[in-house]
Chain A
Amino acid sequence: MEYVILFYEGKESMAERTHPEKSEVYWGGWMSYMKAVDEAGIGRGGAGLQTPDTATVLSLKNGKKHVQDGPYADTKEQLGGFSIIDVPNLDAAIEWASKSPAFAKGRIEIRPALQTP
């Protein structure tokens, strides 16, 4: 079964990505996690996301294409990336998600992937 794992990170954790001293630990953690997922043969893709202030929001207003900078939700934790894994059941997905660096520093949401008809 395919699950999408959504990693939510706090602002501090996201700032570690480019922090002079902390970035090595930050990236090291994610790299070894992604490697373990690969080794297990369960990875089905995913990506890390740039910080929310880089987001462009697109909508249709009065029949016109409307493009704007934000507004993004200013919550404590932001979507920092996602990964798709193929595992037998929810417990296995929980097990994998809890191995990720986001488990200690943020919040993780696990959603079953929608099967296309």
Chain B
Amino acid sequence: MSTEAEIEKVIEKIMKASYGKLLSALCSRSRDLEACEDALASAFSQALDTWKGGHVPNNPEGWVFHAAKNKLIDQKRKENRKFENRSTLVQLEEEKSFQEEFDFKDHRLRLMFVCSHPSIDESVRTPLMLQTVLGLDSAVIASAFLTSPAAMMKKLVRAKQKIKLAGIAFEVPDINSLSERTEFVTEAIFAAYGKSWDSLGLIDTHLTDLNEEALYLSNLLVELLPNEPEAKGLLAFILFCESRKSARRSNIGEYIPLDEQDVNIWNRAYISQAENLLQDAFSKGRLGRFQLEAAIQSAHCARVKFKMNNWTAILKLYDGLLSIAPTTGAVIGRINALSEVQGLEIGIEALKNLPPEITQNYQPYWALKASLLFKLGRSTEAINAYDIAIGLSQDEAVKNFLRKKMV
């Protein structure tokens, strides 16, 4: 017999590992995302009640899928009764085909393309994917997109209504509209990977595990779109970053910044796979955001071969990246490279020129500012900046690292 705590653990594990897979399989048939989410939530609570005091079934994931499927079928039956003018025969026929077409397959990529349909508000496409395919809650998504949870929730609900009522096909689009939609899919995978990267030292393992999902989905995307250089760029970017994962913390969990990492423990196999992908992507002659993001990581990883960073190349790549995708992260990354190439004073000047509304609460800005001031010997100002950077860090290991710098 399993204890309630054990069962809760099993359920939690399925929720983390298989949420997107379950949801995408359910809505591949029903199109009603909200109804599928509700059915899945109640299937999970049914699982808790049913398994309590008994045994967890051999295939718990499949059990949850069938429970959720049955809930959707019941609901369909109830809805059908509202349409009194249709014959019972027609209704039964419909219910039967609805039931038969459920199929527990991984439809995550298809769901991502549904979320990126041009008839859905552009600003909600990536958040919608993060919520449905990767199971992030709307508060986490809101913080990543710098908006309030309530506003984000409202947008997400509206988008789901649109998918249901407008009859958006649950298919991978044809080749003509693929590339415009791929942009949003790559962006969602990139955002999910970024979340996991930032939460390495946090307790919430769901966010930390997102790296696996992001790696899996970007691999799938490359398979689906072998001629899309941006898909390869994204996969290369993720592989470059993953190659350094074990070097980001010491044996006792201390934070180690990039320039102090031991290159001998970087994963060479990942790096060479990423290099090949990136070469392949470049050969298509269509440069894009993720190829540049990957190229920047490639330049950092080149330290394995050349024992030093080529900051001039990195600065040029950041200039290119900013001309396509001027994100705050890229702006700070560029200034870091700029200070390496042209000197600390120039770096500080560039930081000063940034509008405060984007830098005020942005941890990497304060961490870079502190480090530049410190190297310039302006210790009072440096300590002040370190203080703010520590306050804005979530990760305890990062906080400790910054605290040590202050001494």
Complex Cα distance, B31 from A89, in Å, reads 11
- Stretch from B64-72, B128-136, B160-168, B296-304 that touches the partner: B160-168
Most chain B C-beta atoms within 10 Å of own C-beta, residue among A89, A91, A93: A91
**Do residues B169 and A90 form an inter-chain contact, with CB atoms below 8 A?**
yes
Closest Cβ of chain A to B187, distance in Å, is: 21
**Interface status of B82 (Cβ within 8 A of chain A):** yes
Q: Which residue of A lies closest to B170 (CB)?
A: A89
Interface string of A75-116 (1 = CB under 8 A from B): 000000000000011111110000000000000000010011
Closest Cβ of chain B to A35, distance in Å, is: 25
Q: Which residue of A lies closest to B31 (CB)?
A: A89
Number of A-B contacts (CB under 8 A): 30
Complex Cα distance, B168 from A88, in Å, reads 9
Complex Cα distance, B73 from A117, in Å, reads 19
**Do residues A117 and B82 form an inter-chain contact, with CB atoms below 8 A?**
yes
* Contact A90-B82, Cβ < 8 Å, known A1-B167, A112-B165: no
Complex Cα distance, B166 from A91, in Å, reads 10
**Do residues B173 and A90 form an inter-chain contact, with CB atoms below 8 A?**
no
Complex Cα distance, B85 from A81, in Å, reads 29
B173 contact set on A, CB distance < 8 A: 91
**Do residues A90 and B83 form an inter-chain contact, with CB atoms below 8 A?**
no
Complex Cα distance, B83 from A117, in Å, reads 5
Complex Cα distance, B177 from A89, in Å, reads 15
* Contact A112-B166, Cβ < 8 Å, known A90-B119, A91-B173: yes
Complex Cα distance, B98 from A4, in Å, reads 25
B82 contact set on A, CB distance < 8 A: 117
A117 contact set on B, CB distance < 8 A: 82-84
Complex Cα distance, B119 from A88, in Å, reads 16
- Please tell me the size bucket of the interface on B: 10 to 19
Complex Cα distance, B165 from A3, in Å, reads 11
**Interface status of B117 (Cβ within 8 A of chain A):** yes
Interface string of B71-99 (1 = CB under 8 A from A): 00000000000111100000000000000
Name the one of B83, B84, B165, B167 contacting A89, with C-beta atoms under 8 angstroms: B167
Interface string of B171-183 (1 = CB under 8 A from A): 1010001000000
Closest Cβ of chain A to B226, distance in Å, is: 23
B83 contact set on A, CB distance < 8 A: 115, 117
Closest Cβ of chain A to B375, distance in Å, is: 56
Closest Cβ of chain B to A29, distance in Å, is: 23
Complex Cα distance, B176 from A94, in Å, reads 13
Closest Cβ of chain A to B107, distance in Å, is: 16
Interface string of B247-283 (1 = CB under 8 A from A): 0000000000000000000000000000000000000
Closest Cβ of chain B to A86, distance in Å, is: 11
**Do residues B165 and A91 form an inter-chain contact, with CB atoms below 8 A?**
no
Name the one of A3, A91, A112, A115 contacting B169, with C-beta atoms under 8 angstroms: A91
Complex Cα distance, B85 from A14, in Å, reads 40
A112 contact set on B, CB distance < 8 A: 165-167
B85 contact set on A, CB distance < 8 A: 116
Name the one of A88, A90, A116 contacting B117, with C-beta atoms under 8 angstroms: A90
Complex Cα distance, B119 from A94, in Å, reads 10
B117 contact set on A, CB distance < 8 A: 90
Q: Which residue of B lies closest to A115 (CB)?
A: B83
Name the one of A88, A90, A115, A116 contacting B166, with C-beta atoms under 8 angstroms: A90
Closest Cβ of chain A to B169, distance in Å, is: 4
Q: Which residue of B lies closest to A117 (CB)?
A: B82
Q: Which residue of B lies closest to A111 (CB)?
A: B166
A91 contact set on B, CB distance < 8 A: 168-169, 171, 173, 177
Interface string of B134-177 (1 = CB under 8 A from A): 00000000000000000000000000000001111101010001
A94 contact set on B, CB distance < 8 A: 119
Closest Cβ of chain B to A49, distance in Å, is: 24
B171 contact set on A, CB distance < 8 A: 89, 91
A89 contact set on B, CB distance < 8 A: 167-169, 171
Q: Which residue of A lies closest to B177 (CB)?
A: A91
Q: Which residue of B lies closest to A89 (CB)?
A: B169
Complex Cα distance, B83 from A116, in Å, reads 8
Complex Cα distance, B168 from A108, in Å, reads 17
Q: Which residue of A lies closest to B166 (CB)?
A: A90
A93 contact set on B, CB distance < 8 A: 167
Complex Cα distance, B164 from A112, in Å, reads 10
A-B pairs, top 3 by smallest CB distance, nearest first, are A89-B169, A1-B167, A90-B167
Mind listing 16 A-B residue pairs with CB under 8 Å?
Answer: A3-B167, A88-B167, A88-B169, A89-B167, A89-B168, A90-B117, A90-B119, A90-B168, A91-B168, A91-B169, A91-B173, A91-B177, A92-B169, A112-B166, A117-B82, A117-B83
Q: Which B positions have Cβ atoms within 8 angstroms of A?
A: 82-85, 117, 119, 165-169, 171, 173, 177
Known: A90-B119, A112-B166. 6 other contacts (CB 8 A): A1-B167, A88-B167, A89-B169, A93-B167, A94-B119, A116-B85
